[in-house]
Amino acid sequence: MNNSISFLRHAKTIIDQNTPVDNWEISNNGKEKMSKITSSGIFDDIDIIISSEEKKAIQTAAFIAERLEKKIITYSDFNELRREGGYIAGKSEYEKQVRLIFEEGCSEIKKWETAGSALNRIKRATDLIDKKYTNMKILVVSHGIILSLYFGYLLDVKKEEYFERWRRMEFCGWGIIKNKKVIKDIVN
């Protein structure tokens, strides 16, 4: 308990519709941005690095893990909202689907996990690591939709505001939570 938990959205990815979303890799642009963030030293005081099991998150966490010479612990509960129906091609169609996820809350759409289920997963995982460690600085690398849900929940954001917050969240955006309170919002 009494941990400081920094949440980092993974770096920008290469969209590859022939590959499952959870196996997408970070792009050259994403690698450059992570190199800058890592060399800035903002995460140099991190004690523990946790990542979702998705490749893009692990690749993002690897930049900081290498610098700090630390292992990456993976937790599936920090994975992105499950999208069994697959990725939706086209930015506007994808954004329409994400908007529906936020607005419908607990309604399952096109075989995507519900917002309520995803939120419960990240809450459970965060509570688990907060109880497991004491007075640590923890970094969790995760994903845009699930992080929007979690920070929105903690900030008591109106349901209508979630989608715009998600759109404003940058790749490699980060925020800090301590004792279930937002110290630094993940959305600028």
Q: Could you read off the pLDDT of 110-136 as tens digits, one per residue?
A: 678 889 999 999 999 999 999 999 999
Model confidence pTM above 0.85: yes
The pLDDT value recorded for residue 6 is 98
Structure tokens at 83: 């999208």
The enclosing H or E element of 5 equals strand 4-9
Fold of 4-184: Rossmann fold (3.40.50)
Is the pLDDT assigned to residue 87 strictly greater than 80?
A: no
Contact call for residues 160 and 103 (beta carbons, < 8 A): yes
Q: In what order do the strands lie in the sheet with 48-51?
A: 72-74, 48-51, 137-142, 4-9, 174-178, 181-184
- Crossing angle of helices 28-40 and 55-68, in 10° steps, is 30
The pLDDT value recorded for residue 148 is 97
